[in-house]
Structure 1
Amino acid sequence: MQAPIIDDDLWQLIEPLLPEVKPRAKSDPGRPRVPDRAALDGILFVLKTGIRWNHLPIRLGFGSGATCWRRLNAWQKAGVWEQLHELLLDKLRAAGQIDLSHAAVDSSSVRAVGAGGKTGPNPTDRARPGSKPHLLVDANGIPIVAILTGANAADVTQLLRLVDEITPIRGVRGRPLQKPGIVYADRGYDSTRHRRALRERGIKPMIAKRRTEHGSGLGKYRWVVERTHSWLHRFRRLRIRFDRRADIHEAFLKLGCSLVCWNILRNTQLTF
């Protein structure tokens, strides 16, 4: 199986974001440190294939699974993935790809093997432990915000949080983008209180109502968020949660969103 080696252009964006490594004392040389780029390749290999950490083949040159896990953990604590996502969103706006005239929100459920933080009984999976990633995407399906909760969390409880956690998107001169004009959502977000709260934020809610016939017409705007969920599920590590620690799975989720952004940006650049 070919390893998903990170390409040079993306590495040039990530490398300056990595925390500086203190030089090892000459009196304690120890083993040579696995290069950051090799460790990142190992992290991407786990994300792409869904392989367990302790099954990561050392012969591929990524270092051990424990080494890659420690590097992912350290970079998550340093906020590397958040910074990368924000940087790519800025570049996408500079390329004219961000459209916040309207946004769409939705969630998906994944099984959590071994439970852990931010898990709960999944009502769609016989109450087995699960987690639920919630997404807010722009009109083009670009992931703007990703949140992880337990699988038993109602979608509507995360609606305002998704909107409020949009970071300022720069990339061009002028005022940064930080809120959509309209939010589209399915019946799981039906709430008079949340509609009112969105209007108070200057956002028009377009939310399907419960106990009404299907065919609201919102599907032609909402399908982009379902497509983005399917893009993320191409990363097998995001289909089933193996990590008991929620922050590790959140690191994979944020990295997955960044890779989706990078693929869109790269395809945009290839068209010119």
Structure 2
Amino acid sequence: MRRGEQPPWIVPDGLWQRMEPLLPKPVPRDPRRPGRNRIPDRQVLCGILFVLHTGIQWEFLPQELGFGSGMTCWRRLEAWNRAGVWQQLHELLLAELQGAGKLDWSRAVIDSSHVRAARRGPKAARARSTAPGRARSTTS
């Protein structure tokens, strides 16, 4: 990282403004039940990016960084996955780039890991041995 650059786990304001409306709204906490205050989503997102960037295990995320615990970050990531946040963000950013004329589709590649195949191919027949002098099974 060069001097003056932000670490890659710090979410820029422009990206956060696009992402925040896509996040599920938290369930209000019962005021009669004590507990910790909820860590803001943006801080948790920075924790998620820190783990993904550094490769550190979730349980070893340093609490001193202010991202919350690794389990908090993991749970929020799981909730956002279930809510389809990443797919929505991807589509939003693609639409913005397309609208600005900054996508070059002539270099796009699609493979089966991203696009479901229309139908299966023919079922493969089981190969039989053609080896000469193959002994028959004595167990049957």
Q: Give TM-score, length-normalised by structure 1.
A: 0.39
Alpha-carbon offset, residue 98 of structure 1: 1.8
| Superimposed CA distance per residue, residues 98-146 of structure 1 (whole angstroms, 9 cap, x where no aligned partner) | 2224533xxxxxxxxxxxxxxxxxxxxxxxxxxxxxxx3xxxxxxxxxx
The alignment status of 1:37 with 2:49, answered yes or no, reads no
The alignment status of 1:161 with 2:115, answered yes or no, reads yes
The alignment status of 1:73 with 2:78, answered yes or no, reads yes
Paired residue for 1:52, among 49, 53, 57?
Answer: 57
What is the distance in 2 between the residues matched to 1:58 and 1:159? 36
Alpha-carbon offset, residue 3 of structure 1: 6.5
Percent identity among equivalent residues? Answer: 57
Alpha-carbon offset, residue 4 of structure 1: 1.9
Alpha-carbon offset, residue 160 of structure 1: 8.7
- Residues paired across the two proteins, number: 114
The residue that corresponds to 2:125 in the other structure is: none
The residue that corresponds to 2:127 in the other structure is: none
What is the distance in 2 between the residues matched to 1:162 and 1:34? 37
What is the distance in 1 between the residues matched to 2:30 and 2:88? 30
Secondary structure class of the residue paired with 1:161: coil
What is the distance in 1 between the residues matched to 2:77 and 2:92? 19
Q: How does 1:114-263 map to 2 (within 5 A)?
A: 136=110, 158=112, 161=115
What is the distance in 2 between the residues matched to 1:19 and 1:28? 22
Q: For residue 32 of structure 1, what is the amino acid of its counterpart?
A: N
The residue that corresponds to 1:90 in the other structure is: 95
Q: For residue 26 of structure 2, what is the amino acid of its counterpart?
A: V
Paired residue for 2:15, among 1, 10, 24?
Answer: 10
What is the distance in 2 between the residues matched to 1:101 and 1:93? 13
Alpha-carbon offset, residue 26 of structure 1: 1.0
The residue that corresponds to 1:20 in the other structure is: 25
Shift of the 4–96 alpha-carbon distance from structure 1 to 2, 3 Å rule, reads same
Q: For residue 23 of structure 2, what is the amino acid of its counterpart?
A: L
Alpha-carbon offset, residue 162 of structure 1: 5.8
| Superimposed CA distance per residue, residues 179-221 of structure 1 (whole angstroms, 9 cap, x where no aligned partner) | xxxxxxxxxxxxxx8xxxxxxxxxxxxxxxxxxxxxxxxxxxx
Q: For residue 51 of structure 1, what is the amino acid of its counterpart?
A: I
Query: Which aligned runs of 4 or more in structure 1 are off by greater than 4 angstroms?
Result: none
What is the distance in 2 between the residues matched to 1:25 and 1:58? 25
What is the distance in 1 between the residues matched to 2:8 and 2:62? 11
What is the distance in 2 between the residues matched to 1:81 and 1:8? 17
Q: Give TM-score, length-normalised by structure 2.
A: 0.73
User: Which protein shows a greater Rg?
Assistant: 2
What is the distance in 2 between the residues matched to 1:74 and 1:160? 22
Q: Which runs of 5+ in 1 are unaligned?
A: 105-135, 137-154, 165-192, 194-272
Q: What's the Cα RMSD here?
A: 2.4
